[in-house]
Structure 1
Amino acid sequence: MTTLPGERDGAPRSAAIPPLKWTSSASESWRRSKDVKDVFAGITFEVAYNLGKHVLAGPQERDLPALTPVLRWRKGQRMATWFEKNCLSDDCAADLRLHGKLLLSGLYTKPHLALGGVKNVSLNLTISNTGDDAYDTNIYFNFSREVFYINFWQKEEKGISCGLVDLDFLKCSVGFPFMRAQTKYHFAVIFDTSQLSGENDTLQFLVQAKSANPEHKLSDNTLDLSIPLIRETDTTITGVVTPSSFAYGNSIDASRFVQLEDMKCNFQPLNLTFQAINKGPSRLPGSTVDIRIPNRLVGNGADMFHIIETQVTDGRGNCTPHRNPTPCTIPQEKESIFHSIFAFFTKSGRRVVDCDRPGRACMTISCSLGPQLKEEALSIDIKLLLNTEILKTDSSSVIQFVTRGSVQVNDGVMEVENGLSEDFSLVFEALHSQEPRGYVVGWIIAISLLVGILIFLLLAVLLWKLGFFRRRYREIIEAEKNRKDSDESWDWMEKNH
């Protein structure tokens, strides 16, 4: 005798019972195996019998062969046994309902998930059954292969167990062997999200509850839990300039400067280094750095800077090329000697050359940078020459250059609110030696002597006009006259006596 699988459509197959044989009538008792989960399909029993080998005892001397026995009745019988069920409805329908929400780890409460900033997420689920006892109840999770299942947690021990069927498919058994009617279970499933690449814009979990019972309302058996994925970064920029100050003027040794081939200009070499830093938490796919350098002292003047080289760390970016067709421009001296002397005596104070001030002509270097990991920095090195001949025409004793750099992230990346500054300023100064040219010194000495003589003559004439010299002369004459009169008086008295 053998049991056959349940033949109800869609029902799981029941366990097979090994065939038994006996030679006489018998009565057997059967119990359902604990591993059989299908309690709705009946267990079919089939009983069959046949004749054994017919053996005749004693010698057989008949001319005709022995007759072969023939069964008069059917060889088998089929019957089915059904499990006893205690159901409220006629078809024992269950009514499963799923509720849940997706929570981010830690204190992260934003409506999106920042790639790299959230290490794991939790699906907090509640499953309830308002119908009949639900046999073989399971919850299935479909998710991205970039997400990894960690573990599950249940508020109370309810016989929940979870296991991966595939890398992107998780199955959780609820209340084995059945989930009782009018019950509710709470549990959470935790996933690792640290390996998300951001290829998709949304992290999605499809959750579905099923049981072996029939169910008439399936709309509340599924959940679509999702959250937008964004790249969130905190970018900043820093920089340094070498040298931070230098002196220029006619008294400065020309060997301290650089001269290009076939050019008479003295150039001051400068090295500008800007660093674009990604403070995270996400990987930065790309950014743009704009560097603005004040290139002229006056709006219609000549360009002062000549770019030699622009380089990004390890070639992980490129910058717009800049070429000065006339790097050596020596302004023509059309001013008079008196204007030069006046400029020397009035050369004082500080002049600030800044691109943010109106009317300034600036050179902009735009660099496109490649991807950056969290806490990674990319450097932009700029080597340039400054034409000091143009600086000599300015009347300031100190010229301060303000170079500004700014970084902007590419589209699709969000900056952290109230994060680090995305702008930075580099300041370097040109200090005039305050020593005039040779011919200016000669003219200053000559003019000084001339002015001194004129002042002396002016004072002499002024004193003469005021009678200073005449008053002294009159006193001398009167004193001499009185002396002579006195001498004559004494001579007369001596003669009379």
Structure 2
Amino acid sequence: LLAGAPVAESTFYSNVQKPGAIYKCDVLKNECTQLPTGVEKCGKTCKSESDNQWLGVSLSRRPSNGDILACGHRWKNVFFSQKDNQNKLPHGVCFQFSSDFSHSTHYIPCYRDHQRKFGEDYGSCQAGISNFLTEDLMIMGAPGSSYWTGSVLVYNMSSKVFAAYVDDENTVLYGSYLGYSVSAGHFLHPYSMEIVGGAPQHSQTGKAYIFTMEGNTLTILNETSGSQLGSYYGACVCAVDLNADGLSDLLVGAPMFSTVREEGRVYVYINQGQVDMKEAEFMLMGSDSYAARFGETMADLGDIDDDGYPDVAIGAPQEEELRGAVYIYNGRMSGVTSRFSQRITGSALGHSLSMFGQSISGGIDVDGNGYPDVAVGAFLSDAAVVIRTRPVVTVEASLFLPVGVNRSVATCVENGLPAVCVEVNVCFKVQGKAIPGLIELKYNLSADVKHKEAFPFRFYFHSNGTSNVTAGRVRAKHGETTCNKHLAYMRKDVRDIFTPVHFDVQYDLGEHRVGSRAASSLTPLKAVLQQREGQTNRVMNQTQFVRYCAWENCSTNLQVFAHLVLPQSYNNMPFFALGNGKTIMLNTTLVNVGDDAFLPKLHVRFPNNLHFIRVLDAEEKHVSCEINEEEKANTTLDCSVGNLYIPALSKLNISFLLDVNQNSSAGDLTISINATRENYENKDLLHDNLAYLTLPLRYGVDFNVHGFVTPTSFVFGDPDLMPVDCYNQKINYTFKVMNLGPSKALDAKVEIAIPQVLVPHPDRLIRVTDLQTTQGQCHVKNSSWPLKDDCNINKPPFYKDLVFYLSKISKRILFCSRADGTCLTIQCNFGNMNMGKEVTINIEVELNPAVLQISPGRHAIMQMDSSISVTSPVRDNGTIMVNDDVSAIVKLEAHNSQKLPPIVAQIIIGFSLCLGLAIFGMLVFCLWK
């Protein structure tokens, strides 16, 4: 184990104050010694000062040969400060150690001959605050370059070429601290190598950059940004192939991300190819603890759970008041688990450690068991801990059952009597890397785990009384399959022979005997059971009872037929009239034309404005229904039918009584009936298991209208009566409209028509003086007929009066037709009329009798027919009118008085006197002769 101690005193240079040190520790002996370091010569204008250089602030290992790179970012060149103690240049220094620590080489990548200014270029670059080694590249962060804009420095150990990021386009802002963290991975393709650098102070939100190396310069390929001010996004970066697709993914730590205070977060970016980094929908957050600074350190551990995907460790060094913790997250095909699989604290390891998790390193197998281990530093405790990875056991479990169970064949003996039983074989195969000793597996075997709740378990084990559960153990060697045999006995009173019998085995690791160890090696660790994504330590298999069936796979074949019995019909179309208070009968027929149907059910689904009342003859037909109202708009009846099963080639008639909510609106309701069963039915036979019915809800309306008039007749044309007002005859009309139901009438309207002229004359015959209704509103419609509205009525000449009175008595009928302008039209809107509601309309009119004497057109008897008719509602999709034409006629007769005007009477008397004298003279003359 190598551990950096940045503020340690040197055992080699007593005149140097706290330069820091690199310790080499023997894990078995728990002994540590310092590695010699020092800078003797560094350049023409260079003089080394190693005081407080923080050697060991960053450590990394070259994967191929084990070379080590250790840096102290506060190493200073004091050449230009020898006289005035000014312009000490903190270049930073890194030491490369060979894997056997026999020799070391130092690098001062920021040193330039004759460079003396502190902030410009690389004068204060502080190289080595972070470092990372690959096969060919030595990567060092230099956050102090160019006035703390920062940079990333790369040395190619094969070509001996130094490269650096030069921000010529001002992409990175001043004070960004680029290089605070570094990493490297395969971002473009599996064989390329790209560099990652974090800039936690960029715009106060932080950024992470992915660079490609071209000659001696670095070019930005991709950049990601933090989402919160002051979160220090980019303080730690880790390139790791989480989904094992050959391309590196990226984790970026933001240890000061806060919801309350500095809980810390880690952003996850999955490489879609060609550096197309897709941010995950979640962030890693550890335990989300107060001031934990989760994400301050991260390390690629390799595949510690042997599932083929690399895993990562993330430190939260200030969690639990600086005690610290380390979290393990597992790589997966989709990327990484959102929840940690393990949380490790110093106290859990039996030590009181502070800032445990301040540094993490992984990927090295310390104990030689084939699994990479983890080293964790506890900065405030001057301690480092090696955490060994336990071997991972992969178990392949199998459960073998006979194809079928024959109830008539007893192959076992129970209490000296033949018994039906099932042979159950439980087998395990244990695999894994370098698993020592024997692995014991303990398991629980359960019989009939999916039995119907209404029935008892159908099988049991003798080893545990009559329980359906038994326990067992096996001891298996690596790569071998080991089996145990169990007998499950069938109960005598089994009634359910349709449902398959499921057996279930659940297992876990038992005792692990690892054997003794050599004195020069670490104690072998006991194995743990592998937990792959979506995997459970459970295996299930099934068998079924042997049945003699006519159909393939013993398939049932249910068919559903249904129809509604409705209380009303119109033109041979049944419907349900809202408000009639009657019930609906839903008749269903369930037919089984296949093999026996076990535990059949009918699921009747209908809208919530229908209510279930009961099933007719439910006890006789073994029908039991449960109401399911989980949906807001619909209700489902789940009805068990028949006694356990419906036999083959049989049918069952079931009638449901339903009620309709009287506040429902008109429309078509859909009722579905679906038949199910617990045993098998071929997919191509399922189409007739479902039936749909339409329930037409309508407003059924039947109006009754009638009217009367007072007086029913009157006499006009009396010459002795000379009224002052020409409209001297008062008439009262009364009309009554009643809704006989059975439903309410929506927007009820009527129209009343009263003759108002004597065609072809324009003189007004009547006028309305009062109009009242007991519901709604009525108004007089404007007439299209040109009316003369005064009392100057032209009287006929006397000879026409003479002819009229001498003529035969005749009768004329005045009537109205639709859209007739010769009639006075009154329209009434009653709104909604409930069933049984009666509305009365009272109309008071005044009539001008003189209009009836206009000639031509007058008759001795004038009959005025007034009509009332319902104009709304009309028959449509929501309303059914029981009677097509709803109207009534009210008759009013006007009788001419037949009294002669004085002048006509005088003419008739004079004419009669002359005629009488002439006749008398003729008689006298005849007698004289």
Q: TM-score scaled to structure 2, two decimals?
A: 0.39
Asked whether the 8 Å contact 2:729–2:848 carries over to 1, the reply is yes
Q: Which amino acid aligns with 1:242?
A: T
Asked whether the 8 Å contact 2:703–2:740 carries over to 1, the reply is yes
Q: Show structure 1 runs of 5+ residues with no match.
A: 18-24, 52-69, 472-497
Asked whether the 8 Å contact 2:503–2:542 carries over to 1, the reply is yes
Q: Which amino acid aligns with 1:99?
A: F
Give the whole-Å Cα distance in 2 for the aligned partners of 1:5 and 1:305: 97
> Which of 794, 805, 812 lines up with 1:332 in the alignment?
794
Aligned to 1:434: 898
Q: Secondary structure at the match of 1:389?
A: helix
Aligned to 1:402: 865
Q: Which amino acid aligns with 1:333?
A: K
Alignment partner of 1:99 is 2:565: no
Asked whether the 8 Å contact 1:266–1:387 carries over to 2, the reply is yes
Q: Which moved more, 1:284-293 or 1:378-387?
A: 284-293
Q: Which amino acid aligns with 2:465?
A: E
Give the whole-Å Cα distance in 2 for the aligned partners of 1:94 and 1:81: 23
Deviation at 1:242, TM superposition (A): 1.7
Q: Secondary structure at the match of 1:112?
A: strand
Give the whole-Å Cα distance in 2 for the aligned partners of 1:218 and 1:125: 17
Q: Secondary structure at the match of 1:402?
A: strand
Aligned to 2:700: 232
Q: Secondary structure at the match of 1:456?
A: helix
Change beyond 3 A, Cα 1:37–1:109: farther
Aligned to 1:62: none
Asked whether the 8 Å contact 2:755–2:822 carries over to 1, the reply is yes
Q: How does 1:369-448 map to 2 (within 5 A)?
A: 369-393=830-854, 396-408=859-871, 409-412=873-876, 413-416=879-882, 419=883, 422-441=886-905, 443-444=906-907, 448=909
Higher helix residue share: 1
Q: Secondary structure at the match of 2:744?
A: coil
CA displacement 1:24-61 (0-9 Å, x = unmatched): x954323689999993351425588989xxxxxxxxxx
Q: Which amino acid aligns with 1:434?
A: Q
Give the whole-Å Cα distance in 2 for the aligned partners of 1:433 and 1:215: 94
Change beyond 3 A, Cα 1:299–1:428: same
Q: Which amino acid aligns with 1:168?
A: T
Deviation at 1:223, TM superposition (A): 0.5
Alignment partner of 1:29 is 2:466: yes
Give the whole-Å Cα distance in 2 for the aligned partners of 1:135 and 1:333: 98
Q: Which amino acid aligns with 2:562?
A: G
Asked whether the 8 Å contact 2:597–2:647 carries over to 1, the reply is yes
Deviation at 1:316, TM superposition (A): 5.4
> Which of 159, 180, 184 lines up with 2:651 in the alignment?
184
> How many pairs align?
423
Aligned to 2:343: none
CA displacement 1:374-400 (0-9 Å, x = unmatched): 333333332222112222446544322
Asked whether the 8 Å contact 1:6–1:12 carries over to 2, the reply is no
Aligned to 2:714: 246
Give the whole-Å Cα distance in 2 for the aligned partners of 1:345 and 1:78: 119
Asked whether the 8 Å contact 1:294–1:360 carries over to 2, the reply is no
Deviation at 1:143, TM superposition (A): 0.8
Alignment partner of 1:199 is 2:666: yes
Change beyond 3 A, Cα 1:4–1:322: farther
Change beyond 3 A, Cα 1:251–1:93: same
Q: Secondary structure at the match of 2:847?
A: strand
Alignment partner of 1:127 is 2:595: no
Q: Which amino acid aligns with 1:386?
A: L
Aligned to 2:606: 143
Give the whole-Å Cα distance in 2 for the aligned partners of 1:208 and 1:252: 88
Give the whole-Å Cα distance in 2 for the aligned partners of 1:79 and 1:338: 122
> Which of 616, 621, 634 lines up with 1:153 in the alignment?
616
CA displacement 1:447-479 (0-9 Å, x = unmatched): 625752564366346634x472xx8xxxxxxxx
Asked whether the 8 Å contact 1:299–1:360 carries over to 2, the reply is no
Change beyond 3 A, Cα 1:212–1:140: same
Deviation at 1:141, TM superposition (A): 0.8
Deviation at 1:291, TM superposition (A): 2.7
Deviation at 1:401, TM superposition (A): 1.4
Greater relative CO, 1 or 2 (CA 8 Å, sep 6+): 1
Alignment partner of 1:279 is 2:763: no
- Percent identical pairs in the alignment equals 23
Q: Which moved more, 1:38-47 or 1:235-244?
A: 38-47
Give the whole-Å Cα distance in 2 for the aligned partners of 1:90 and 1:467: 134
Aligned to 2:674: 208
Q: TM-score scaled to structure 1, two decimals?
A: 0.69
Q: How does 1:330-369 map to 2 (within 5 A)?
A: 330-333=792-795, 335=797, 337-346=798-807, 348-355=809-816, 361-369=822-830
Q: Secondary structure at the match of 1:285?
A: strand
Change beyond 3 A, Cα 1:252–1:462: closer
Asked whether the 8 Å contact 2:755–2:816 carries over to 1, the reply is yes
Q: Which amino acid aligns with 2:717?
A: G
> Which of 142, 160, 172 lines up with 2:639 in the alignment?
172
CA displacement 1:257-296 (0-9 Å, x = unmatched): xx7xxxx423312222222333333332244433332222
Q: Secondary structure at the match of 1:448?
A: helix
Q: RMSD of the TM alignment (CA)?
A: 4.5
Q: Secondary structure at the match of 1:370?
A: strand
Q: Which amino acid aligns with 1:426?
A: V
Deviation at 1:320, TM superposition (A): 2.9
Alignment partner of 1:219 is 2:687: yes
Give the whole-Å Cα distance in 1 for the aligned partners of 2:466 and 2:541: 12
Give the whole-Å Cα distance in 1 for the aligned partners of 2:893 and 2:500: 91
